[in-house]
Chains A and B, each alone.
Chain A
Amino acid sequence: MTKPLRRTVLSLPGLLPFLSPVLARAQAAAESSAPLVAGGLNGGLAAFAAAEDVVALVGGSSAFDPDVSKTLLEHREHAHAYAGLWLDRSEPLAVISAAANGGAKPRPQELGAALMWLVHRGVEQGLEGEAGATSDRSVYQDVGLMRWWAGAGAQTQVEADALLVGLQTIERRLFIRIHTIEPDSDDPAGWIERLVDWHEGRAQLLARYTSVITNPDAALWRQHVEGKPPLFAVKDRVLSVLQRARQGDRLPAKVVLEAMNGEAGCAYGQAVLRACRALQSAGRHLGGKAREAQFRNELKQLALA
């Protein structure tokens, strides 16, 4: 169902207007000279989960540069959002270098957003998620994540209606948590339109999640979740370290460094490792052990700059 949908959207951009900014962003990201929207980030739940796992590793061990750890952990929630504020890839890198080189230091929330941009960018490159948060790949990876987290429970048969209500419940509770939404006072009418598009897009995304959970397309599942490498792999060493970090275990730096110096047997683990290496590289730069040129060069090798 999903593949033809995207083709339809591309040929008829007016049909599902909420998708067009997402696709525009994906195109912008593909052309490196074009300005970025949302910092060129497009990640869905799987990308955010991997980014959160990176932060859990940072919090659960002393394997990272202290400045990197302090800034990311203190500004974590804001930084996930602010990572989307960069207009151009050079901006976050310039902020990190400004912090490393002394002189006019960026504010902590700016450095946090720059470091978190590296994390998300690394993760998204690892997941090859540039097609956008509503692409087949992103939706199948998100469902892959839900099933991985559910473990053996994922085999339980659940009615599609109950699942959709479950997903809707998550969103209703978020509306309680968010209390009320702050409008865009510079452009209230345009903002209402964008908000409504987003909200309608959410309803369609939840319906797609439900349909993929209960009735996945076998070919798409093979391509995006059980591919080579698979998204997740049982007994993968990196994943078991991540699970411990996610549960709040304190991890010896040696265990984390060993994981980072090795390879993961699955795409999710590889994505996390790529982001970790980018953070290590930023840490060396911030700690005065690597100059700007070396930092940029290391990011290039990770395909992040």
Chain B
Amino acid sequence: MALLLPAVHQNIKQALRKHWSVGMLGSVTRMGDQHTIKVLSPLRESFAKQAPDPRAERLLAFTMGWRCHNAADRQWKPMYRYLQPEHYRPKQPGVSAVTIYHDVAVFKEVYDHGRRAPLTPTTLQFGPNLPATDAVLPAVALQGLVGLTWQRTLLMLQSFVAKGLPVPARFDKADNRFEPLVVDEAPFAEAYHRPDPDRIRKYIVAANFYDREEAMLVLLEKLRKGGSASASEVNRVRREPKCQYAQAVNRGLGYMEACSEYLVGRIDEATLTERCDLKRPHKPPEVEAFLDKYEKTNTSRAGGHE
């Protein structure tokens, strides 16, 4: 949709068109709020004067993915806590059911059950082997090995490794940057193959997470299928985004527009910070207050039963 917005500079559009897989990588990366300005500010000087080089294009695509991740965080993190406070107070281990149900909804609706890149239809099919490659590819055993190679490589991408720090300091850094394979994928498969109707009602329907009848989502689906739309159509569907997914998309588009204006020099760092919510917490104080109240009520009720 960003490709259709007049307020998004053509250099960003070009970067998104050519390197969206890089943008996807940005969208699964933490700490985008802290690094957006660090990455974008050196690109400002030559931005509007010339077409960006391949390096700058990849940085742009990555940062746009990063902004979208933060848009979704800001939109959805409060909602997760309102919908499933029992997961957050006291904090339960693992990923909350509400996030799993939302991810599975996106897998089905946005990625057409994994038929759209970069996902695969077998992503949420579980068993010792994958059906299409049964017998040839021992997938579960291989996944463990590939995971170990990733963990080492991701650490090696960090600049501290080659800096020659003393061993204890180097290992302290490594402890902060190591990527544990924390998330259990089985509950995702269960939510996909055998969804709990009560959770569907609470987390998807009542929460109005994804409404494929809503104008913005109708348009998005058309675009995913290769269709086109005019800027005015996009602006029309952006006017009143209703479901949670549409609101996150709209927020992400707003962030991209702000980045574009920052890159061409129309707005300064302070305005970009404001418009991209770079210093605003993902969970506003009222969410914490809600959780505090929930915990209090819940604890005293539990106490009454004892």
- Residues of chain A whose beta carbon lies under 8 Å from any beta carbon of chain B: 37-38, 41, 44-45, 48-49, 52, 77-78, 80-85, 87, 91, 95, 106-107, 109-110, 113, 133, 146, 149-150, 153-154, 156, 158, 162-163, 165-196, 198-199, 213
Contacts and interface: CB of A to CB of B under 8 A. Distances in A.
Interface stretch (B163-171, B267-275, B298-306): B163-171
Nearest to A189: B39
Contacts, number: 213
Interface string B165-185: 001101100111111111111
Interface in B127-180: 130, 132-139, 141-162, 164, 167-168, 170-171, 174-180
A15 to B, nearest CB: 13
Given A113-B171, A153-B136, A192-B39, A181 B152 contact: no
Nearest to A113: B171
Given A45-B142, A169-B120, A81 B183 contact: no
Nearest to B150: A174
A209 B69 CA distance: 32
B123 A169 contact: yes
A81 B119 contact: no
A111 to B, nearest CB: 11
A165 B147 contact: no
A45 B26 CA distance: 26
25 contacts: A37-B161, A38-B152, A52-B148, A77-B181, A82-B178, A158-B137, A165-B133, A166-B130, A169-B139, A170-B143, A173-B143, A174-B146, A178-B182, A179-B28, A179-B182, A181-B28, A183-B31, A185-B34, A186-B159, A189-B42, A189-B59, A191-B157, A191-B159, A196-B22, A199-B21
B266 interface: no
Given A85-B161, A189-B39, A199-B21, A169 B122 contact: yes
Interface of B: 21-22, 25-26, 28-31, 34-35, 38-39, 42, 55, 58-59, 62, 69, 95, 118-123, 130, 132-139, 141-162, 164, 167-168, 170-171, 174-185, 188
Among B39, B55, B62, the one with the most A-chain Cβ atoms within 10 Å of its Cβ is B62
Given A83-B152, A181-B179, A192-B59, A170 B141 contact: no
Contacts of B182: 177-179
